[in-house]
């Protein structure tokens, strides 16, 4: 039962990491931007859920309908005003996302004065289980949301015109431009979708964590590990990469040392980065596309 409990805990923890990472993976795989502010977009989603509760009395699972579109708009604005003008300088885009991280953290800190907030939910605290295994509704919802999001995003990329444009730009942006695809608009839409997915993660995480301006930093390292493990731009990679990181952290925390659990998956992250830079589900050479196109 100990192993089964750890397995369940690891999968549910992996659901958190996967949901946070799936938007980052999309942005990283398509636009080739290391978005250091992704954790802060998750943080904005959490505060968006709190604002919807404080002003409208909405449960966070209903606030998703407001916060996710709002984060999509935020992503569009950030890409148009901050990142797109620096398109020719990819390194400057990375620095710009780091600057955005600092701006968002300090802006929220100034508004909230560092006070911690919590977002109550009528259903998030419920638990159920079989035998000795107990599962909270909030974590199960995150796992189910990750599964549904991964399936929906896969179908979106495979079957819609915009999704096919995103895939074409991912494979070869110069050829996509020659075929009449508006690459810049595709980048903007992709960043908006990635930001919306970060907002979704933030809303669903808000009943679990106490809100603070720096809470995004709790997820960003694991998110980058998931992206590298799964593979750039791979929806399946983000899903299963999150599961791997969650399981490794759960088993390492139980059998080795709770203080070393993150060090173990970070070691695995480094090994995968050295042995297979494309990740477990990435295409060979995908990690070099951005460099080839700049040269």
Q: How far apart are CA 126 and CA 146, in angstroms?
A: 20
Query: Is the confidence at residue 283, as pLDDT, over 70?
Result: no
For the segment 151-170, what is each residue's pLDDT rounded down to a tens digit? Answer: 999 999 999 999 999 989 98
Q: Which residues contact 87 (CB under 8 A, 6 or more apart)?
A: 93, 184, 187
Query: Is the confidence at residue 171, as pLDDT, over 90?
Result: no
Kindly write down the DSSP assignment for every residue of 213-230, as one continuous string.
TTTTHHHHHHHHHHHHHH
pLDDT for the residue numbered 288 = 47
pLDDT for the residue numbered 228 = 84
pLDDT for the residue numbered 255 = 85
Angle at the Cα of 19 from the Cα atoms of 15 and 25, rounded to 5 degrees:
125
Domains defined for the chain, CATH in brackets: 2-111+133-294 (1.10.3470)
pLDDT for the residue numbered 270 = 83
Model-level pTM? 0.90
Q: Which residues contact 45 (CB under 8 A, 6 or more apart)?
A: 67, 68, 71, 198, 199, 200, 201, 202, 203, 205, 206
For the segment 26-58, what is each residue's pLDDT rounded down to a tens digit? Answer: 998 888 888 899 999 999 999 999 999 999 999
| Count of positions (residues) in the chain | 295
For the segment 222-242, what is each residue's pLDDT rounded down to a tens digit? Answer: 888 888 888 877 888 899 999
Q: How far apart are CA 108 and CA 99, in angstroms?
A: 14
What's the pLDDT band for 85 if we cut at 50, 70, 90? confident
How is residue 13 written in tokens? 């923890």
What's the pLDDT band for 1 if we cut at 50, 70, 90? low
Between 231 and 15, residue with greater pLDDT: 15
Query: Is the confidence at residue 289, as pLDDT, over 50?
Result: no
């Amino acid at each position: 039962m100990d192993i089964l409990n750890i397995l369940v805990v690891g999968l549910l923890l992996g659901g958190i990491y996967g949901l946070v990472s799936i938007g980052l993976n999309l942005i990283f795989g398509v636009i080739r931007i290391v978005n250091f502010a992704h954790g802060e977009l998750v943080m904005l989603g959490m505060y968006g859920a709190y604002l919807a509760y404080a002003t409208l009395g909405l449960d966070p699972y209903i606030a998703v309908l407001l916060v996710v579109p709002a984060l999509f708009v935020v992503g569009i604005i950030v890409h148009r005003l901050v990142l797109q003008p620096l398109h020719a300088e990819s390194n400057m885009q990375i620095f710009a996302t780091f600057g955005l991280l600092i701006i968002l953290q300090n802006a929220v800190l100034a508004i909230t004065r560092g006070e911690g907030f919590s977002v109550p939910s009528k259903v998030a605290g419920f638990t159920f289980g079989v035998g000795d295994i107990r599962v909270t509704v909030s974590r199960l919802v995150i796992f189910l949301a990750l599964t549904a999001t991964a399936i929906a995003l896969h179908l979106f990329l495979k079957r819609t015109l915009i999704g096919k444009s995103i895939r074409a730009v991912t494979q070869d942006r110069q050829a996509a431009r020659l075929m009449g695809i508006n690459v810049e608009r595709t980048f903007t839409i992709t960043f908006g979708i990635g930001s919306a997915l970060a907002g979704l993660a933030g809303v669903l995480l808000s009943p679990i964590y106490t809100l603070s301006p720096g809470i995004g930093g709790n997820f960003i390292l694991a998110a980058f590990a998931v992206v590298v493990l799964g593979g750039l731009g791979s929806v399946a990679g983000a899903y299963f990469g999150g599961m791997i990181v969650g399981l490794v952290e759960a088993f390492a925390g139980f059998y080795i040392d709770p203080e070393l659990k993150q060090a173990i998956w970070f070691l695995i992250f480094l090994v995968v980065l050295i042995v297979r830079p494309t990740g477990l589900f990435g295409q060979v050479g995908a990690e070099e596309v951005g460099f080839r196109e700049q040269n």
